[in-house]
Amino acid sequence: MENGDVLTAFQAESERFSQVLEELTEQDWQRPTACTPWLVRDLAGHVLLAVGRTAAMLEGPSPERAEVSAVEYYRPDERFSPQENASRVAQAQEEAAEHKSGAALAEEFARTWREIHRLCLAEPAGRVVVTRHGDAMLLSEFLLTRVVEVAVHGFDLAAALEREPWLTPEAGQALETLMLDPQEVPRVRRLGWDQTTFLRKATGRLPLTQPEQDTVRELGIRWLTLG
């Protein structure tokens, strides 16, 4: 995706996620999520960390060329090992515990995503960054992975709050493009899946029936390994 498109998707989905956080009661922050053992506050802490680490990457070196795409970023390797997943869980809990209240955590997320958006706007097209895993990526491709983080964990947040899932059109288009070739979209729609349903199923947030599993094997979906 072009820098402008992915930035628009990042802005839209982050703003929506932020609005939901700002509406939560302190009791809501203590609700369990499907991302065991995280509570809502821990889930928010994880998304805050995932978005916020972009700033440090922008301060780092810019390699001459990118070597990894957004799809390749989600390859099933050691970054999704049990040890790394356990570290990811603990870091989110620690981040959440550093904020005296849910409201403070919501405020920090709002400040962080806006700052990341501002920093990315100032970067030139073709900017390459190095991820904490050592991947050289176009900033636009890495930022697309941040859209994944905010959108997919938005599904988790909605489920924990017992609300209908949300997905902004901008983020939905970005994620669908990441996971599907354009010619496969009509076939997905014929399954009766709108964009949100497809993405919830493709990211493990909704189960697949056996007939659906048989069909998606033929679709060429670019499945993402998610921690």
User: What's the pLDDT tens digit per position in 74-90?
Assistant: 887 777 778 888 899 99
- The pLDDT value recorded for residue 102 is 97
Q: Domain segments of the chain: what residues?
A: 3-180
Per DSSP, the three-state class of 32 is: strand
- The pLDDT value recorded for residue 140 is 96
Confidence tier at 1 by pLDDT (50, 70, 90): low
Exposed e or buried b for every residue in 67-86, given b needs 16+ CB within 10 A? ebbbeebbeeeebeeeeeee
> Which CATH topology does 3-180 take?
Four Helix Bundle (Hemerythrin (Met), subunit A) (1.20.120)
Query: What average pLDDT does the chain have?
Result: 92
- The pLDDT value recorded for residue 78 is 75
Q: Are 173 and 35 in contact (CB under 8 A)?
A: no
- The pLDDT value recorded for residue 42 is 98
- The pLDDT value recorded for residue 3 is 61
**Spatial separation of the C-alpha atoms in residues 83 and 85, rounded to whole Å:** 5
Mean pLDDT calculated for residue range 137-159 = 97
Mean pLDDT calculated for residue range 118-133 = 94
- The pLDDT value recorded for residue 227 is 63
Confidence tier at 27 by pLDDT (50, 70, 90): very high
DSSP state of 39: B
Mean pLDDT calculated for residue range 39-61 = 96
% the chain with pLDDT above 70: 98
Task: Using the predicted structure, report yes or no on whether residue 137 has a pLDDT greater than 70.
Answer: yes
Q: Are 201 and 212 in contact (CB under 8 A)?
A: yes
Task: Using the predicted structure, report yes or no on whether residue 35 has a pLDDT greater than 60.
Answer: yes
